[in-house]
Structure 1
Amino acid sequence: MISIEILEGFPAFLLVFVRVTSFFLMMPLFSYRSIPASHKMGLGFFLAVIMFSTIEAPVLQIDRKYFLLIIKEILVGVFIGFIAYLVLSAIQIAGGLIDFQMGFAIANVIDPQTGAQSPLTGQYLYTIALLLLLATNGHHLLLDGIFYSYRFIPIEQLWLHFGNDNAAEFVLRSFSSMFLIAFQMSLPLVGSLFLVDVALGIVARTVPQLNIFVVGIPVKIGVSFILLIAVMGILMMMVTELFQTMAMTMKGLMELLGGK
């Protein structure tokens, strides 16, 4: 009897496993290539076992419809992970704006986790944000997002509501809000450095003997570091609000894809 129940539930369990592992491909922290693929698969397997034991999984047959369900589960996991990564990318964009004003935009570093080039300050703030995410159990919030996705997008649902105009509008609104949040995070430093540029311009006009290009760059870098230390607490408060925005964005996308 146990073996028959296992065989009947295996197709549904495979769909849960596909959604969880697809989520790991895009989501922050778990998608990094420094984590071995075998560990990701193992973690995805055990999470799939836990989720499968807590949801009401239907009995499915492996037929043509089943392969469409597999594609749907891949899309759900990738889209939910992508929207979470999209919101957190505001931190690196804010760092890029700060670097441009500091004069560090000419030098980028290779992110060892993703392999892409990222700004110096952006990588620094993003690393601190990930540590804050772990310290506040924000990674549990990410896992809750994929778990509660079955309330909005059931396993047996065959189609995603991509044809709804609200879904495209929601993604575009999330994309624009990411730049707005990045601008708000970088505004204290960028605004202060703009005033430093104005002061250096006044000095260059009043004291022409002073080589402002030699003096200006160290002054801006020193002021930037002092301001960064001063506003670090405010930046982390905004990062905490960014985590809440990420959770709400994931929930909104799941509701739209599920047609709720």
Structure 2
Amino acid sequence: MSSLSYEAIESSHQLVRYMMTLALCSERLIVLMIIFPPTSDSVVQGRLRTALSLLWGSFVAYGQHGTLDQQSGLFLVGVGLKEALIGVGLGFAASTVFWAAESVGTYVDDLTGFNNIQMSNPSSGQQTSLTSTLLSQFAIAAFWVLGGMMSLLGAVYESYQWWPLENLAPVGGRIIEAFVMHKTDSLMETVAKLATPLMLLLLLIDIGFGFTGKVSSKLNLTSLGQPVKGALTVLMLALLASVFIDEVRGQLSLSNITAESRAIAHGN
């Protein structure tokens, strides 16, 4: 065989190794984007999401030259499973504020009695209540407007420092478990903070109509409670939209996710 043939074979082997490295480097990001509401199947098409993941993962793959060349197939399978696990953890951490907004809307519709009215949520492709869909779309729009994707990519790139591609075990110990538990607690706390004002307002309306019905039993005020609660809920949502953005601005822009992951990785 000529030297040209050997060079062609060697080039093909290098291309295969690079494509394998690129696939592993993009897996963490593509799993995250599948879970993340602003980049889910109903918002970003699968081909576009895969292309973006490969594009952003190529920067990581460029710095991994020669890292996985001499590894066995079983080791590469382990790396692939590990990368998928990290993507799930990061996707869960980044999605909590969007799930909180949707949960607040569902909770409010349950209190007002409009939870039986369902519509298709464009971000999830599932049937959700009206207020839940409104707050979910509101949070997703705020995420893109506030530049949250830049912070998310920064957190993904920095995650390769505390859990490198070639390491099956993290640098800082049980990172994923601690990170997910921390974000779960913050999810419940965010839902409680955002839903409490509306919950108290609706509770006062129920108490007021209840006392009024007891005093004037001839007036049937029970049927008026639900329309009044619905109208006041719409008014409160319109008035508190800016307050909602100010309250969760850091979470929507994901400006703190890098610092949180770094602190948990170092055991703080």
The letter for the 1-side match of 2:252 is F
Q: Where does residue 59 of structure 1 map in the other structure? A: 67
Alignment of 1:75 with 2:85, yes or no, is yes
Aligned length: 257
Q: Where does residue 98 of structure 1 map in the other structure? A: 108
Gap change, CA 1:125 and 1:87, over 3 Å in 2: closer
1:121-160 to 2 correspondences below 5 Å: 121-160=131-170
Aligned-pair CA distance for 1:135: 0.8
Tell me: higher relative CO, structure 1 or 2? Use CA pairs within 8 A at least 6 residues apart.
1
Gap change, CA 1:201 and 1:183, over 3 Å in 2: same
Q: Percent of counterpart pairs with the same letter?
A: 21
1:74-223 to 2 correspondences below 5 Å: 74-160=84-170, 164=174, 167-223=176-232
Q: Structure 2: how far apart are the matches of 1:8 and 1:224?
A: 57
Stretches of 4+ moved more than 3 A in 1? 1-11, 55-58, 160-164, 166-170, 246-260
Alignment of 1:239 with 2:234, yes or no, is no
Gap change, CA 1:204 and 1:162, over 3 Å in 2: farther
Secondary structure class of the residue paired with 2:128: strand
The answer to whether the 8 A contact 2:120-2:127 is kept is yes
Which of 15, 24, 33 aligns to 2:24? It is 15
Aligned-pair CA distance for 1:5: 6.0
Gap change, CA 1:70 and 1:258, over 3 Å in 2: farther
The letter for the 2-side match of 1:137 is G
Secondary structure class of the residue paired with 2:211: helix
Q: Structure 1: how far apart are the matches of 2:192 and 2:95?
A: 18
Q: Which moved more, 1:61-70 or 1:125-134?
A: 61-70
Q: Structure 1: how far apart are the matches of 2:55 and 2:120?
A: 32
Q: Structure 1: how far apart are the matches of 2:267 and 2:167?
A: 10
The letter for the 2-side match of 1:114 is S
Q: Where does residue 29 of structure 1 map in the other structure? A: 38
Aligned-pair CA distance for 1:89: 0.8
Q: Where does residue 45 of structure 1 map in the other structure? A: 54
Q: Structure 2: how far apart are the matches of 1:135 and 1:214?
A: 41
Unaligned runs of 5+ in 1: none
* TM-score (norm. length: structure 2): 0.83
Q: Which moved more, 1:100-109 or 1:130-139?
A: 100-109
* TM-score (norm. length: structure 1): 0.85
Aligned-pair CA distance for 1:46: 1.2
Unaligned runs of 5+ in 2: 1-6
